[in-house]
Chain A
Amino acid sequence: MIDWQGYIGLILDGAAVTAELTVMGAALAVVAAFAAGLGRVSRYWPLRALATVYIEFFRGTSIFVQLFWVYFVLPFAGITLQPLQAGVLALGLNVGAYAAEVVRGAILAVPRDQIEACVALNLTRGQRMRNVILPQALPLMLPTFGNNAIELLKGTAVVSLISLKDMTFQAQVVRAQTGSTLIPFATILVLYFLFASLIGWAMRRLERRVTRGLDGVRA
């Protein structure tokens, strides 16, 4: 008879690592997305160039390669990261690059007449962005941000490459030790689905909050 309780405990330890990577990666991704998204619409060309290079690089290479570089190559440049730090950095920057395009698209989707009203009211560029454009762009970003967060969750499984024991890694360990495929993989199936549902629920709540009062204004 197999001691399933212990093995499920291993998988739950892995789930904690997955959750940690997802939450911290998402936090970094949001920062990177706004920095690069605003950089893309900046009137200063060096900022635009920098943001474009970042976005194209991280979208144009795989997360697998990025993680490898962050963990195994950066030490040659004198930067050594803990596995968790490396995982958060690679995942956050990767997803942030996709989300940056969402930020940029949402900013550009705010109607031009809103900006003209700001000019007529003599707001500075910074005041326009903070008080008028971003508050209207945010509701447009959130649904795609939710998808990005779920992509991030699913992407966390690559960290086994740098010896982090996330839940996919643990499921494989359990499978190797018990010879059972069904139970460990059914367990992580349910766990991934629960995590994704939680993200979806949180995003819907956030969306309802930021669109309050805007109903009937835009689809």
Chain B
Amino acid sequence: MPAPIIRIDNLRKTFGALTVLDGLSFDVAPGEKLALIGPSGSGKTTILRILMTLESISGGHIEVCGEQLYHMPKGAALVPADEAHLHRMRRHIGMVFQHFNLFPHKSVLDNITLAPMLTKGEPRAKAEARAMELLDMVGLADKARAMPAQLSGGQKQRAAIARALALQPRIMLFDEVTSALDPELVEEVLLVMKRLAAETDMTMLLVTHEMGFAHEFADRVLFFDRGQIVEQGPPDRIFTAPSEPRTQAFLRKIIAAGHRV
């Protein structure tokens, strides 16, 4: 068993009086594809946002690639991380958002090359060559010069995936990347992600309501409710023979709502 690439230990997160995560712990192995499922408001997005350092934490520890994410050593003690530490740690992690968050004032190509050129000092030619490879992979080679406003939702999301990949993070976070898309555009994005999952050894954490996709994509499924892991296991077991009543009820409701499992 290799050492975990992510170690979440007794994580607490509150928003004012609302406790969203209360003593959450789990590990993720390098290269593992993890699907996080659960009812709305159970804290799935919050977990990804915390890993991307878009939220602060209220307690506990997170280790990423062998180093503390929200803490840094000072002498023998651990103190809260400063911006420089967070900046260093973010190299390891990338995220794809539900609403793409492309930069509207930059072409698809410039969206992708911006970060490699700024954060890694890559020369433009090298960054563009790599961006074209990525665009080819997501089937958008002919849209390199297009502005985001000229793309369909599915194309935007594929461009956003290429943008996140350009920094070659070891961990990728996907938060409901298809839920803002028209139904007929979902498939093209899922196809790209399936290829990605099959072809790379990147660690991936996926939040989704597409149970069929989670089943195919994931090595392990975590079912969350109210900030707790209720049940976890390989997708074949979770989706066909869940043992917890809450998991069973959730999956029944999802199937009734017309989602495929």
Contact = CB atoms under 8 A, between A and B. Distances in A.
Most chain A beta-carbon contacts within 10 A, residue among B52, B53, B118, B167: B118
Most chain B beta-carbon contacts within 10 A, residue among A117, A124, A132, A214: A117
A113 B97 contact: yes
A136 to B, nearest CB: 6
A119 interface: yes
Given A119-B52, A120-B95, A123-B119, A217 B104 contact: yes
A119 B118 contact: no
Interface in B95-118: 95, 97, 99, 101-105, 107, 114-115, 118
B149 A121 contact: no
Given A113-B97, A119-B90, A136 B115 contact: no
Nearest to A216: B149
Q: Chain B, interface size: which category?
A: 20 to 34
A131 B118 contact: yes
A129 B111 CA distance: 15
Contacts of B85: none
A175 B175 CA distance: 72
B54 A122 contact: no
B153 interface: no
A125 to B, nearest CB: 8
Contact of B115 (A113, A114, A123, A218): A123
B118 A136 contact: no
Interface in B48-74: 52-54
Contacts of B194: none
A122 B149 CA distance: 24
Contacts, number: 69
Contacts of B119: 121-123, 127
Contacts of B43: none
Contact of A213 (B54, B102, B105, B115): B105
A119 B95 CA distance: 10
B16 to A, nearest CB: 18
Contacts of A151: none
Contacts of B252: none
Nearest to A127: B118
A195 to B, nearest CB: 32
Contacts of A56: none
B27 to A, nearest CB: 23
B97 A117 contact: yes
Interface of B: 52-54, 83, 87, 90-91, 93-95, 97, 99, 101-105, 107, 114-115, 118-119, 147-149, 163-164, 167
Given A116-B52, A121-B115, A122-B87, 4 more contacts: A113-B99, A122-B91, A136-B104, A218-B104
Instruction: Please list the 4 inter-chain residue pairs (A to B) with the smallest Cβ-Cβ separation, ordered nearest first.
Output: A117-B101, A121-B115, A217-B104, A122-B90
8 contacts: A117-B102, A121-B94, A121-B164, A122-B90, A123-B119, A131-B118, A132-B103, A214-B149
